[in-house]
A and B are shown apart, each in its own frame.
With several copies, the nearest count.
Chain A
Amino acid sequence: MSDDIYREIILDHYRNPRNKGKLLDADVSIHDSNPLCGDEIDIHLKVDGEKIKDIKFEGRGCAISQASASMLTEMIMGKPLTSVKDLTKDDILENIGLLNLGPARIKCALLSLKVLKLGMVKYYADRDPDSAKKLQSDSTGM
């Protein structure tokens, strides 16, 4: 089991995270942590019209949460907001290739998605309250 989870690519993203760091002129920055284990993620977004122009993350935590965040940034960099908005849990789990995580570890894998959704809630708050509301409700229970 462990060998399936901690594949080369996960360890690589964990040890060499992509898009890690601050983003000085971010449009949105958001922070959250997993109360169950203390993993933390900050996401900084730069939005250019209708797409993600730049994204960076900061964080600390387990290989799963950090690799997942790193892989998420690669996945959505440059993507239109409309598609990013609708990302599901399964998209993320597929992206990192971990479909068999137990309920505790799945929270690690989804923390970056949760932070991303909360960031987009902030972004849409005034621009599109309906989307903000939906994203908010998506993010609860993650």
Chain B
Amino acid sequence: MMQKGALNVEKIREDFPILKRKVSGGKPLVYLDNAATTQKPLAVINAIHDYYMNYNSNIHRAVHQLAEEATIEFEKTREKVAEFINARSTEEIIFTRNATEAINLVAYSWGRTNVKKEDTIVITEIEHHSNIVPWQILTSEKGAKLKYVGIDDNGYLKLQEYVDYLDSGKKAKLVSVSHMSNVLGTIVPINEIIKMSHEKGIPVVVDGAQSVPHMPVDVQKMDCDFMAFSAHKMLGPTGVGILYVKKEILEKMPPFIGGGDMIKEVHKYETRYNDLPYKFEGGTPNIADVIGFAAAIDYLNNIGMDKVREHEVELTTYALDKISRVRGVTLYGPRNSKDRGGVISFNIGDIHPHDLATIMNDHGVAIRSGHHCAQVLMERLDVPATSRASFYIYNTKEEVDIFVGALEEARRVFKI
């Protein structure tokens, strides 16, 4: 059956050793927690292994052979990342620990330089805490304001609210918006938002943590000013985030983390900072994992991001249909798979999501439950928590069936 889909999933699954694992006393693992972090193909695991076995070394500053090899591989990843999102140059690619740190870098460096008292930063109700808290900290420090653009009851962004806001002559210093919701799956009309914002001279930060792993993303076409995402959500290792910044903006930003590697010359009381992007990478980087990330990008490129998206649309359509037939289920977010990613949030009867996740786990099904680091959205949906199943390239319709079967089991356990 899988052969008919966008991807040869059976073949892909062979590249992911963990998928052979049994959990909960012998159940095959059905991993549906991909929005939190994805599994890693052997190629990524081996790349890290190979680095430590053969050429582990600190980079940039040394002449010996291991250091040269490590430096070359490390910088190759930067080239691959730049190409993957179609940045103009590697100078625009900064490695951080994760998407969260990438957004904080913007808030600390660009934000503290540019945001003044009474300024407004615009975000939305679908944001992940990582795209809320840094702006709360910044605005409260500066005496600036935070404005939320709302969503409608189907989980779509109320773009008109933002249009009206701008039309009324109100100003914004910065807009920071998630490209794809990690709860509802909603894909926001990012191109319009950016176009409208630029017309008023407002730069835009895109939280691409959920979009970059799951669909083709082109920063030049999109014309965003900043974009943040995490390697671990796209087959890569933990500990690597990426911040893309347009060069002309980056050139004017003061450094964030001060230390080794980000300087050109340090004197007692003054310092000349390093060229881009190194100015923003203080200290020894996460060398092994950055190198491992290159293998993840290769893997995704081999498949093709169009195909990744196609597969997820197919699977999401199938899953939405199946889940909606389970009695007592409430689904959140857009019902049209074309408008959303492969992230399905729902509740069922009065079963709390944690309890549901526990029951799912008994059946080998790994889903996530809770607020998904999106409590503002939870308040908007007026639920304390949701359950969330999220897909990636290795998930199958058969797994969706197991998941839906487990849902029925949960209804039995809770006697609803």
Residues of A within 8 A of B (CB): 1-3, 5-6, 11, 15, 33, 35-40, 60-64, 102-105, 108, 140-141
Contact = CB atoms under 8 A, between A and B. Distances in A.
Given A6-B413, A62-B353, A140 B91 contact: yes
Interface of B: 24, 60-63, 65, 67-68, 71-72, 89-91, 263-265, 272, 274-275, 278, 350-355, 358-359, 362, 369-371, 375, 378, 384-385, 409-410, 413-415
A103 B371 CA distance: 19
Contacts of A102: 63, 65, 68
A60 B358 contact: no
A33 B352 CA distance: 16
Contacts of A15: 350
B358 A38 contact: no
A39 B369 CA distance: 11
B362 A37 contact: no
Contact of A103 (B61, B72, B358, B385): B72
B354 A108 contact: yes
A123 B90 CA distance: 27
B278 A35 contact: yes
B402 to A, nearest CB: 15
A38 to B, nearest CB: 5
A102 to B, nearest CB: 5
Contact of B385 (A11, A37, A64): A37
Contacts of A39: 354, 384
B264 A1 contact: no
B415 A11 contact: yes
B68 A6 contact: no
Given A35-B278, A140-B275, A63 B384 contact: no
Contact of B355 (A35, A38, A63): A63
A35 B352 contact: no
B413 A2 contact: yes
Contact of A33 (B61, B265, B350): B265
B415 A36 contact: no
Top 8 A-B pairs ranked by shortest CB distance? A62-B352, A62-B354, A2-B359, A35-B264, A37-B370, A35-B274, A38-B371, A1-B362
Nearest to B415: A11
